[in-house]
Amino acid sequence: MDRKQVLRIYSRFLDKNNHEKEDLIVKTLSILERLAQVVKKHPKRIAFADLNKNYTYIQLWQGISGVANKLNKEFSGKNPVLIYGANDFDMLVAMLGVNAAGQAYIPVDEHTPDSRVRLIIDSSKPVAIIVVSAKNMDDFNGKLFKGYPVFFLEDFDYQSELTTISLEEAVRGEDTNYLIYTSGTTGAPKGVEVSHQNLLSFTEWMLCDFKSIEENQVLLQAPFSFDLSIFSLYPALLSGGTLVSLSKEETSNFKKLFERLNTTEINTWISTPSFVDICLIDPSFTEKNHPKLEQFIFCGEELTVRVAGKLLEKFPNSVVWNTYGPTEATGAVTSVQVTADLLEEYQRLPIGKAKAGVEIRIHDPETKQPVSLGEQGEIVIVGDSVARGYYRNSEKTIEVFGVIDGKPAYYTGDAGRIDTTGQLLYQGRIDFQVKMNGYRIELQDIESHLSSFAAIEKAIVLPQMDYDQRVRSLIAVIVPKEEVNNEREFGKLIREGLKGKIMDYMMPARFILMEEFPLNKNGKVDRNVLTEKLIEQR
Ligand code: AMP
């Protein structure tokens, strides 16, 4: 049966309320075809709510149609489209509109430094750029996107009454759905290429294995340029739920954040553990004040016993999930429900068991061979969640992507082991990647920018941990080329220089100067000794 037949049959069944067959046929549809059915069933439901405005499913579809129809006229082929803007409804429309036109989207936050945006453009060579918003639209400098066709929202027949679009061209199957750029060791970000099939597998898992809630109001906290955002976006939209979106202004101002949360009726909370830890400061963040908040889903960094325990104390009847996965394996691939028993049993919470379609293996990082059961090694993810690789970057792709038993595999760089109950335990990194407040940072990314400064001979960036063993800040240790008279002034200049090159959250809190780094017996900089020295100096 071809897709057109499936669609025809599907719409017949929809009207007849035959749920069993409906389910069966829905499974063969693409993400946008499923969204089209939700729009048809619930046109007036709220799809997206921010502080100021609610947007219905029909408004979402009108926007998608406007973007897709225009792009279909202008371009063909499967090259990606870069979308530049904030975490708002318009950006969502642009992303889905691009997919409806058959292209992959690259979400880039408007707060990304220009030089980094340029690296992303140079690496992805987008067929077009859509500027949804810019930090200062009046001052918008098109130079950044020189050489590429640029569209603004006004270019699309955006609020058109036209709601029918052909999804014949839309992204489906093994097509690339999106590219998300993450920190890279060389200073240039890497674009993880995620297929429609990867995303569909993730979305189905979320809809099947987690608590299903009618008219689910789902928190959208993560920027679209981070893969945590897909936890909210696709499961909410494909089940007719509402995305309750927080702006950057709200997430970066506690007062505004707590005020806004108190006006929402969120059912499913999705965030990093660091974010909920901030919300737990607010005494009104309790089950009594948020009786509809039934489910918490965490990913992106370690969920500590302290944070999970505090949360269960404040929301004793809710379901709390710890999930684990890198952008390279589409959102998450393992999950475990955190209960009071689990908190008793483990000092460091497990990250759970694999989703359907995925197998977790533990390999020796040197030999790349499986270790014995229960032994520690590198976590390797095998199966249908593993992304294609890094876009136009075969060198980096070969380093960490592979094939095991005929299935795609990703070598995560995470250390872990599987315990006797089958739970996967996370045990840190085997390289220099860190997570700070949920943000993924390659320390070498910052180091390579520092080393490019004329005044710096070499530089090392070290994480500073808190009592929970979480990274609280970064310290840059620098060997200058020439003697420095005013260390403070020097640090200030370096900070200024870094500003246009790295994301805000990557900025070291301190710059410390040294004459030479301690070396280990292999002649490499001994980061452990350096860390101890810094602790002594404090
Ligand atoms: P990202 O690609 O930004 O999602 O970051 C992926 C990395 O975050 C993983 O490789 C882990 O190092 C870390 N991570 C994600 N989820 C968890 C978790 N539940 N517990 C511990 N670390 C996690």
Using a 6 Å cutoff on CB, does residue 303 contact ligand 1? yes
Distance from the CA of 425 to the center of ligand 1, in angstroms? 12
Handedness of CA 409, 415, 417, 423 (dihedral sign): negative
| Contact 250 CB / ligand 1 (< 6 Å) | no
Residues 503 and 441: their CA atoms lie apart, in Å, by 10
pLDDT score recorded for residue 450:
96
Ligand 1: which atom is nearest the Cα of residue 192?
A: 2
Q: Whose CA is nearest to atom 5 of ligand 1?
A: 326
Residue with token string 């429900």: 337
Predicted local confidence at residue 25, as pLDDT: 56
pLDDT at residue 535, as a whole number? 74
Our answer on whether the CB atom of 470 is closer than 6 Å to any ligand 1 atom is no
Q: Which ligand 1 atom sits nearest the alpha carbon of residue 379?
A: 10
End-to-end CA distance of the chain: 69
Which residue puts its alpha carbon closest to atom 23 of ligand 1? 301
Atom of ligand 1 nearest to the CA of 349: 20
Which pLDDT value is given to residue 507?
97
Does the 435-537 domain belong in CATH 3.30.300.30?
A: yes
Pocket test for ligand 1, best of 400, 414, 432 (most atoms within 8 A of CB): 414
For ligand 1, atom 13, the nearest C-alpha belongs to: 301
pLDDT tens for 452-471 read 999 999 999 999 998 888 99
Pocket of ligand 1 contains residue 442 by CB under 6 Å: no
Nearest to 193, CA basis, from 171, 169, 170, 221: 171
Which residue, 437, 493, 427, 498, is CA-closest to 463? 437
Whether ligand 1 lies within 6 angstroms of the CB of 378 is answered as no
What number does the ligand 1 atom closest to the CA of 332 have?
A: 16
Nearest CA to ligand 1 atom 22: 301
Contact 46, 54 (CB under 8 A): yes
Q: Is 301 in the pocket of ligand 1 (CB under 6 A)?
A: yes
Is the distance from CB of 145 to CB of 114 less than 8 angstroms? Answer: no
Residue closest via CA to ligand 1's atom 3 equals 440
Q: Is 299 in the pocket of ligand 1 (CB under 6 A)?
A: yes
126 pocket-lining for ligand 1 (C-beta < 6 Å):
no
Number of Cβ atoms within 10 Å of the Cβ of 43: 15
The closest-lying atom of ligand 1 relative to the alpha carbon of residue 439 is 3
Residue 132 contacts residue 92 (beta carbons within 8 Å): no
Residues of the chain with pLDDT under 50: 1, 9-10, 12-16
CA 250 to CA 272: how far, in whole Å? 16
178 CA distance to ligand 1 centroid (A)? 19
Whether 49 and 244 have beta carbons less than 8 Å apart is answered as: yes
Map tokens 């390279």 to a residue: 328
Give the Å distances, CA to CA, from 374 to 52, 71, 116, 370, 420.
52, 52, 41, 11, 7
49-171 under CATH 3.40.50.980, yes or no: yes
Q: What is the DSSP string of 235-272?
A: HHHHTT-EEEE--HHHHT-HHHHHHHHHH---SEEEE-
| Any atom of ligand 1 within 6 Å of the Cβ of 187 | no
Nearest CA to ligand 1 atom 8: 300
412 lines ligand 1 (CB under 6 A): yes
| Cα–Cα distance measured from residue 328 to residue 21, given in angstroms and rounded to the nearest whole number | 34
**Residue 339 alpha carbon to ligand 1 centre in Å:** 21
- Report angle CA 225, 162, 231 to the nearest 5 degrees: 25
Distance 301 CA to ligand 1 centre (A): 5
Note the pLDDT of residue 13.
Answer: 43
Tell me the pTM: 0.91
How remote is the CA of residue 324 from the centroid of ligand 1, in Å?
6
Q: What is the pLDDT of residues 72-125, one digit of tens each?
A: 988 877 889 999 999 999 999 999 999 999 999 999 999 999 999 999 999 999
Atom 7, ligand 1: residue with shortest CA distance: 326
334 ligand 1 Cβ < 6 A: no
Ligand 1 centre to CA of 67 (Å) is 33
How many whole angstroms from 363 Cα to the centroid of ligand 1?
Answer: 18
300 lines ligand 1 (CB under 6 A): yes
Which is it for strands 150-152 and 176-182: parallel, antiparallel or unpaired?
unpaired
The answer to whether the CB of 327 is under 6 A from ligand 1 is yes
CA 313 to CA 472: how far, in whole Å?
A: 25
- Burial code (b: 16+ CB inside 10 Å, e: under 16) for 506-533 equals bebeebbbbeebeeeeeeeebbeebbeb
pLDDT for residue 136:
65
Every domain of the chain and the residues it spans? 49-171, 435-537
